[in-house]
Structure 1
Amino acid sequence: MVQAADRFDLDSLTPLHWFGIALALSSALVHLVLGVGFLPHPMGVAFLLATGGFLGAIYLLAVGYRRRLLYLTGIPYVGVQIVLWYAFNRPAGLADVPAVHFLDKIVQAALIVVLVVLYRREA
């Protein structure tokens, strides 16, 4: 019988992978809080789906499932979230951006950089 611990491939994760996981967990938490706060509005559902996307990606990374493809799809996944945030919020300047939103966008930009580096390393 296969045990749950046997499914995970954590030994192959580098410090950069763990940094990316921390970034993804941070953004997932922000989206979870926003999602619960917006329910039952459709935006709440969208935020919760984004949370699920981050958590699902972390799981796929942990089990070692097609990591290079995961990095490649994660780049536009996170990038589109940044673009959609801007499209929905249209801040006139940094003073109009709540601190938690600003930090989440910095985290997401850093996650994109991590994903690009990981993708290039496994080329």
Structure 2
Amino acid sequence: MAGKELTSVSRVLEESVPGKQVTIAHVIASPVPEVYEHLGINAVGAIGILTLSPFETAIIAADIAAKAADVGVGFLDRFTGTVIIAGDVQSVEMALTSVCRTLEMVLGFAVTTVTRT
């Protein structure tokens, strides 16, 4: 074709293939009241946050946490893999540690260290 340039077009397909992992396990020891307000949960001491993949693992993690310590499940999203628990600091930390240990030892997950602020 005279006078016309042919242009090459590249297409990239991206696909998310989640591994079996706990990416965040964090304790907020003394949240400001606004955090509770925005989450829509009662201020009971500490907040624990988990992010997991595959996302459905959030259901398993919430169950493990609630059975391991005196915590309440404030939020669970099986579409993003997010779990938020609340209770006193020691219970929240124990619950997150139990979740990480169980997912690692029983289900072969890669887990992160439980952190705290």
Structure with more helix by fraction: 1
Bigger Rg, which one: 2
Same topology, TM > 0.5: no
The normalised TM-score by structure 2 is 0.35
Q: Higher strand share goes to which structure?
A: 2
